[in-house]
Amino acid sequence: MPHPVQFARVFLPRRNVFLYDARMAAAKARNGFPILDGAYPIIGHLPEMYRRFPALCARGLAAHGPLFWIHGGPGAPQLMFADPRAFDILKHPNASTSFYSEGFSALLGNTLFAFDGDEHRRVRAQFAPSFTPAAIRKTDVLQIVTEAVAGGIDRWIDAGEIDPLIGAKEIALEIIFRVVGVPVSDLKSWRRQYSRFLLAGIPSRGKWRGPLYWIAKRARDWLDARLGKMVDDLRASGDASTLVGAMANARDEAGNFLPTLLVVSNLRLLVFAGHETTASAMAWSALHLAASPEFQRRAAEEVRGSGDLIELGTDPQRFTFAEAQFRESLRMYPPVHSVIRRATADLPVDGAGVIPRDTLVNVPFVHLMRDPSRFAEADRYSPDRFTERPRPSTLETAMFGGGPHFCLGYHIAIAEGTLFNLHFAKAMVRRGVRARLSVDGPLPGPVYLPLSHPPRGLAVTFEGGK
Ligand code: HEM
């Protein structure tokens, strides 16, 4: 399912779409910044972004320098900022995300994603303590991850062949549902209602709300009623031993619980933000593992004779090969290819001019994570880049964003991907199988929209076996 950032990119509503496209196609510059050529009428640069997003950034950079307009679909002109200075925008108080709730109120209204400034700080401060590495270890998260990945991978091997993206999505959705408190026996009906709720990602406002909006809204009411009851029950029992319990029982500075609807909306956000992203990087990890007998040897060596994989995977003193592989998958293929901010006032950019108020600025992670001046042989998949502890640099975690909206689930995502890779290796050792890619030659590149992910038609097969 698309990330809100991508919805915003493609669908941000504008009244005079057609007129605007025509004007933009004819112009060479806008607000003093050049417009990248090659846009189609109406769909703009979307086809190029779809399969060649990094090449589009490189093309614009070579032609115009780091700041240039692209046309991200109907009525969505964005100022691309293809330079590491773009990260400063994410920290700027005049860079807003509130537009997320304008066309997608049913999906993102009342969530951290769409809050700015003090409101964002206040709400995030209540939830953040539940997402630290220490809190995650204390709650049920790692146990849930372990059960879901171990069970999922066993099913993959039993089947003999798997499309790893489909398989990883199933695992990641199970994890995030169980993390927000859904009983295992109810997963099927939650999956059904959740996929209806995602129709809220089709933008709608006022009189334009069609049947899909109402289907999504009914599903959201279904989910919210159950999440609300969970929150009430957890408050009545005072149980804060699980992640959802800790979030439900968080209190503000005055000692009051947060409004139930606020907690419920943000539990929904966790599901939305936290499963396709992780699934994409897990799928790339599985594909690269299957493509390389050498990686399989190293992965097997790491888990052979190991006891507790949670201990191994969350050891703060070192990167396991499993973690390095997951981080390298995120670097090569950042699932969130870029994020967008709206300037609420003129934004001066160090040495690059002033971005005018109301501009939508695109910060393209796909470009920044392959910057050859920062990553040697940037187009090569090499987990050995990630060998140093204690802390990866800001650039190395940039695919999780920056500034106040930096991914709240970062530690969960890293633990999830690492445990996935460890259990994958362990299951192959235990069952005596090797993984192989269904296609010969180098792995094809990603599809970038709406979230970047492996293209269809790639499978991992399992050979051998006891
Ligand atoms: C590899 C997996 C993941 C990636 C690459 C990723 C990436 C991101 C990015 C780029 C943002 C910032 C968006 C922006 O600035 O506009 C973000 C925000 C967020 N992510 Fe993640 N994410 C991942 C996994 C997760 C997981 C597992 C969870 C939940 C358990 C999660 C929860 C969130 C939340 C709640 C926010 C909003 C934070 C805020 O606005 O304050 N993410 N994520």
Interval 84-94: pLDDT, tens: 999 999 999 99
Establish if 373 belongs to a structural domain.
no
Establish if 385 belongs to a structural domain.
no
DSSP string, 403-427: GGGS-TTHHHHHHHHHHHHHHHHHH
Establish if 386 belongs to a structural domain.
no
Helix spans in 275-398 (H): 276-291, 293-303, 309-313, 321-332, 365-368
| 282 CB within 6 A, ligand 1 | no
Atom in ligand 1 nearest the alpha carbon of residue 176 = 30
pLDDT exceeds cutoff 70 at 3 = no
Ligand 1 atom 6, closest CA: 400
| 401 CB within 6 A, ligand 1 | yes
Establish if 257 belongs to a structural domain.
yes
Q: For the range 373-382, what are the long-range contacts, defined as Cβ-Cβ under 8 Å and sequence gap of 24 or more? A: 374/84, 375/331, 381/288, 381/328, 381/329, 381/332, 382/328
Between 149 and 306, the more confident residue is 149
Give the residue-averaged pLDDT of 455-462: 94
pLDDT exceeds cutoff 60 at 222 = yes
- One domain, residues 342 and 439: no
For position 263, which CATH number holds? 1.10.630.10
Which amino acid belongs to residue 131? Answer: F
Say how many Å lie between the CA of residue 120 and the centre of ligand 1.
14
Ligand 1 atom 27, closest CA: 274
- One domain, residues 24 and 92: yes
pLDDT in tens, 148-189: 999 999 999 999 999 999 999 999 999 999 999 999 899 999
For position 107, which CATH number holds? 3.30.43.20
- One domain, residues 298 and 161: yes
Q: Could you give the number of structural domains in the chain? A: 2
Residue whose token pair is 């099927």: 188
- One domain, residues 36 and 140: no
Ligand 1 atom 32, closest CA: 409
Establish if 374 belongs to a structural domain.
no
- One domain, residues 345 and 321: no
- One domain, residues 57 and 180: no
Task: Tell me what percent of the residues of the chain surpass a pLDDT of 90.
Answer: 72
Give the residue-averaged pLDDT of 428-445: 94
- One domain, residues 225 and 289: yes
What pLDDT, on a 0 to 100 scale, did the predictor assign at position 4? 43
pLDDT exceeds cutoff 70 at 33 = yes
For residue 210, the SS3 value is coil
Give the residue-averaged pLDDT of 144-149: 97
Whole-angstrom Cα distance, residue 413 to residue 415?
Answer: 5
Whole-angstrom Cα distance, residue 45 to residue 443?
Answer: 25
Kindly tell me the number of DSSP H helices and DSSP E strands found in the chain. Answer: 20, 12
- Tally of CB atoms within 10 A around 327: 23
- One domain, residues 85 and 207: no
pLDDT band at 249 (very low <50, low <70, confident <90, very high): very high
- One domain, residues 149 and 102: no
- One domain, residues 438 and 395: yes
Q: For the chain, what is the mean pLDDT?
A: 89
What pLDDT, on a 0 to 100 scale, did the predictor assign at position 207? 59
**What's the token pair of residue 180?**
């927000």
pLDDT in tens, 309-361: 999 999 888 789 999 999 999 999 999 999 999 999 999 988 878 999 999 99
Establish if 382 belongs to a structural domain.
no
β-strand pairing of 360-364 with 353-355: unpaired
Listed range (4-18, 122-136, 432-446) with the worst mean pLDDT:
4-18
Closest of 212, 10, 7 to residue 100, by C-alpha: 7
pLDDT exceeds cutoff 90 at 201 = no
pTM confidence score: 0.92
CA separation (Å) from 209 to 3, 13, 170, 212? 21, 13, 30, 8
pLDDT in tens, 367-382: 999 988 889 999 999 9
Look up the domain containing 424 and give its range. Answer: 121-334+391-464
Establish if 316 belongs to a structural domain.
yes
Burial string for 413-425 (b: 16+ CB within 10 Å, else e) reads bbbbbbbbbbbbb
In degrees, rounded to 5, the angle at the alpha carbon of residue 357 between the alpha carbons of residues 355 and 363 is 50
pLDDT exceeds cutoff 60 at 439 = yes
Whole-angstrom Cα distance, residue 284 to residue 295?
Answer: 13
Say how many Å lie between the CA of residue 168 and the centre of ligand 1.
17
- One domain, residues 89 and 222: no
Say how many Å lie between the CA of residue 407 and the centre of ligand 1.
4
Establish if 272 belongs to a structural domain.
yes
- One domain, residues 165 and 75: no
pLDDT exceeds cutoff 50 at 1 = no
Residue whose token pair is 């880049």: 385
